[in-house]
Chains A and B, each alone.
Chain A
Amino acid sequence: MYVAVKGGEAAIANAHRLLADRRRGDRTVPALRLDQIVEQLGLAVDRAMGEGSLYDRELAALALIQARGDLIEAIFLVRAYRTTLPRFGYSEPIDTGAMRIERRISATFKDLPGGQMLGPTFDYTHRLLDPSIVGADADAPMQREAGDEEAPRVTDLLGREGLIEADGALAEGEDVGDLTREPLDFPLNRDLRLQALARGDEGFLLALGYSTQRGYGRTHPFVGEIRIGEVDVEFDIPELGFAVNLGRIRVTECQMVNQFKGSAKIPPQFTRGYGLVFGQAERKAMAMSLVDRALRAKEFGEDIVAPAQDEEFVISHSDNVQATGFVEHLKLPHYVDFQAELDLIRRMRAEFEGKREAAE
């Protein structure tokens, strides 16, 4: 006998209680602390901050614990918190040329001013599971005095000779957009596109970037430079008339140098793909710079033939919080619409049977 399903509220409360239990797991195992996550799962924290678009390591760590390690869920938690924060204004553009560099590599030059620095990288580790790290301490890192030598960006070095296009400037009288405050209106300018890519899903951008390497919108990329380190964030206070330093953030920047043949108006020069992400997120920054360049196809008069070049396709689907919400909403009840379809299909089947019987 059918009884109208009541008690949704109790069911939800009980489900959440069970969720909290599963999150905590075996009570004899010590509960995680935020500092453990911040210190020892730093790259997960970085990803939650980057795609969550909020630079706060502790909040990202909290989100990771609360999400039981589900990264997209953690990103969602960070975003939902971020959107409630008051907006004081916009900081000055960060100067990555003045970065306190921890890692810096270039694939285009063997040596360059400031040198190459491997930094804390997985590169050249042999991917052999190492049980000895469990519960163990690590050796202190090697250190040396920083020299006086500056480390200008590779693109600036190339730019001096005019070998690479200039960094794009905004048109006169135009302000940098803010995709968190204004609805996206396709086609986008590059400022909004880069914002969307910076918070876009790493996996999605990785796959799209990869697709350009396999010929779906090829861009002939070279890693001009990847640099990871800390930069100052400055905020201009109108009452004071000058910018004050708010603190430092760690970012990963990737400048991809791409081929371009030139045109009747422009002499041959390299073109840029740009990636910038919070924290240490090299894979994401590289994928972002590949996709950024691919999405500039129209600007360079290239044929748009591949998914990675299609702005509306890429940007409309790059946000994993939106994507996961809509994919997962399919588990919500749809029985009213399904009933409508059931009704129609039964009618059509009856007609079909009726015709067949009439024919026999």
Chain B
Amino acid sequence: MNAVANYNFAYLDEQTKRMIRRAILKAVAIPGYQVPFSSREMPMPYGWGTGGVQVTASIMGPDDVLKVIDQGADDTTNAVSIRAFFAKVAEVKTTTHTAEATIIQTRHRIPERKLEAGQILVYQVPIPEPLRFLEPRETETRKMHALEEYGLMHVKLYEDIARHGRIATTYAYPVKVEGRYVMDPSPTPKFDNPKMHRSEALQLFGAGREHRIYAVPPHTDVVSLDFEDHPFEIQQFEKPCALCGAEGVYLDEVILDDRGGHMHVCSDTDHCEERREAGLMGVMGTKEAAE
């Protein structure tokens, strides 16, 4: 039973990694297309990033520097747990700094700092099928993708407008990749969609429970679906980050008391810390908080 403790570099055996790498290569060759792969049981639950973890494990080498974020933050418990997992099974260097990382595994956010060529962003994806909530059957959605039959999605967005006066999708906002496949960007807020467009970094998406991998290679068109009279727009925040004063970034709301008091702070904790270290300060920022 001592064999329990003996695992291969980055946990997965080499055969499995090769199978996943093949799926990744196919995904890169057909941007936005969901490639089935034989997802393995991982030592963390399905739905907690097993797809991302398998992708990361398959592309990781000993010299890689890994950053893991959840909700934009390096210190959320699941991000801590996944980072610790790779530090243990692959003994790779980890970082919280976006610029230092060669692989960034993420759940629900894209870092504020522009990603560069050579970096790989690995998304954890719960439901890879953008059409799933319009048509639950895989057998049907596969046909719709093959025939480029995306009318249903436009009808859904139109119905949003008819009902709410606007497209009421705020996250997992559907995109069209390189003019062909409609893709789920994973449940990132639509605020992050423009960052995917022609990104210099390679973007890989892993859905473990759903057995799918897809990709957006660098410099690929990623266009959010919209209408001429209802163009796509991202969230705007009225106030800057209360800690670092950043504008034009995605903010989290923090409740301060039970009398309606709240503040908005950067969702990207690394971005916020770097700004504060550089001496930038928001209305509630303090020197101590930056340390």
Other than A83-B41, A335-B253, give 14 A-B pairs with Cβ distance below 8 A: A1-B284, A4-B243, A58-B1, A80-B41, A83-B40, A83-B42, A321-B45, A326-B126, A329-B48, A336-B189, A339-B267, A341-B170, A343-B235, A351-B165
Give the interface centre of B36, B43, B45, B251 by most chain A CB atoms within 10 Å. B45
**Would you call A337 an interface residue if the criterion is a C-beta within 8 Å of the partner chain's C-beta atoms?**
yes
Query: Is there an interface contact between A340 and B76, defined as CB atoms closer than 8 Å?
Result: no
Query: Is there an interface contact between A321 and B41, defined as CB atoms closer than 8 Å?
Result: yes
Q: How far is the CB of A81 from chain B (nearest CB, A)?
A: 7
A interface residues, tally (CB under 8 Å): 54
Interface residues of A (CB under 8 A from B): 1-9, 11-12, 58-59, 62, 76, 79-84, 86, 180-187, 312, 316, 321-322, 324-329, 332-337, 339-344, 348, 351
Cβ contacts under 8 Å, A76 to chain B = 41, 45
Query: Is there an interface contact between A329 and B7, defined as CB atoms closer than 8 Å?
Result: no
User: For window 125-173 of chain B, which residues contact chain A by CB distance below 8 Å?
Assistant: 126, 137-139, 164-165, 168, 170-172
Query: What would be 15 A-B contacts, judged by CB atoms less than 8 Å apart?
Result: A8-B80, A12-B77, A59-B1, A82-B41, A183-B36, A186-B139, A312-B139, A322-B46, A325-B48, A325-B209, A329-B45, A336-B189, A337-B187, A339-B251, A348-B164
Which of these, A5, A335, A344, contacts B75 with CB under 8 Å? A5
Cβ contacts under 8 Å, B33 to chain A = none
Cβ contacts under 8 Å, A1 to chain B = 284
Query: Is there an interface contact between A183 and B37, defined as CB atoms closer than 8 Å?
Result: yes
**Would you call B39 an interface residue if the criterion is a C-beta within 8 Å of the partner chain's C-beta atoms?**
yes
Cβ contacts under 8 Å, A182 to chain B = 38
**Would you call B108 an interface residue if the criterion is a C-beta within 8 Å of the partner chain's C-beta atoms?**
yes
**Would you call B67 an interface residue if the criterion is a C-beta within 8 Å of the partner chain's C-beta atoms?**
no
Query: Is there an interface contact between A332 and B78, defined as CB atoms closer than 8 Å?
Result: yes
Cβ contacts under 8 Å, B242 to chain A = 2
Which of these, B41, B77, B289, contacts A79 with CB under 8 Å? B41
Cβ contacts under 8 Å, A334 to chain B = 71, 108, 187
**Would you call B256 an interface residue if the criterion is a C-beta within 8 Å of the partner chain's C-beta atoms?**
yes
A258 to B162 Cα, complex, angstroms: 51
Q: How far is the CB of B258 from chain A (nearest CB, A)?
A: 15
Q: How far is the CB of A67 from chain B (nearest CB, A)?
A: 13
**Would you call B278 an interface residue if the criterion is a C-beta within 8 Å of the partner chain's C-beta atoms?**
no
Cβ contacts under 8 Å, B78 to chain A = 332-333
**Would you call B250 an interface residue if the criterion is a C-beta within 8 Å of the partner chain's C-beta atoms?**
yes
Query: Is there an interface contact between B47 and A344, defined as CB atoms closer than 8 Å?
Result: no
Cβ contacts under 8 Å, B90 to chain A = none
Cβ contacts under 8 Å, B252 to chain A = 335-336, 339
Q: A82-B41, A312-B139, A344-B170 are in contact. Are A325 and B75 (CB under 8 A)?
A: no
Cβ contacts under 8 Å, B107 to chain A = 332
> What 6 pairs between A and B have smallest CB-CB spacing?
A325-B46, A329-B47, A325-B45, A340-B170, A183-B36, A326-B47
Cβ contacts under 8 Å, A7 to chain B = 75
Q: How far is the CB of A178 from chain B (nearest CB, A)?
A: 9
Cβ contacts under 8 Å, B77 to chain A = 8, 11-12
Q: A9-B80, A335-B71, A351-B165 are in contact. Are A324 and B171 (CB under 8 A)?
A: no
A52 to B30 Cα, complex, angstroms: 35
Q: How far is the CB of A216 from chain B (nearest CB, A)?
A: 19
Which of these, A86, A326, A336, contacts B109 with CB under 8 Å? A336
Cβ contacts under 8 Å, A79 to chain B = 41
Cβ contacts under 8 Å, A326 to chain B = 46-47, 126, 209
**Would you call B84 an interface residue if the criterion is a C-beta within 8 Å of the partner chain's C-beta atoms?**
yes
When C-beta atoms are compared, the residue in chain B nearest to A13 turns out to be: B84
A341 to B273 Cα, complex, angstroms: 26
Cβ contacts under 8 Å, A322 to chain B = 46-47, 209
A181 to B189 Cα, complex, angstroms: 34
Query: Is there an interface contact between A336 and B171, defined as CB atoms closer than 8 Å?
Result: yes
Cβ contacts under 8 Å, A351 to chain B = 165
Contact with A along B231-270 (1 / 0, CB 8 A): 0000101000011000000111110100000010101010
Query: Is there an interface contact between B70 and A333, defined as CB atoms closer than 8 Å?
Result: yes
A2 to B37 Cα, complex, angstroms: 43
Query: Is there an interface contact between B289 and A3, defined as CB atoms closer than 8 Å?
Result: yes
A316 to B289 Cα, complex, angstroms: 47
Q: A2-B265, A339-B252, A351-B165 are in contact. Are A12 and B80 (CB under 8 A)?
A: yes
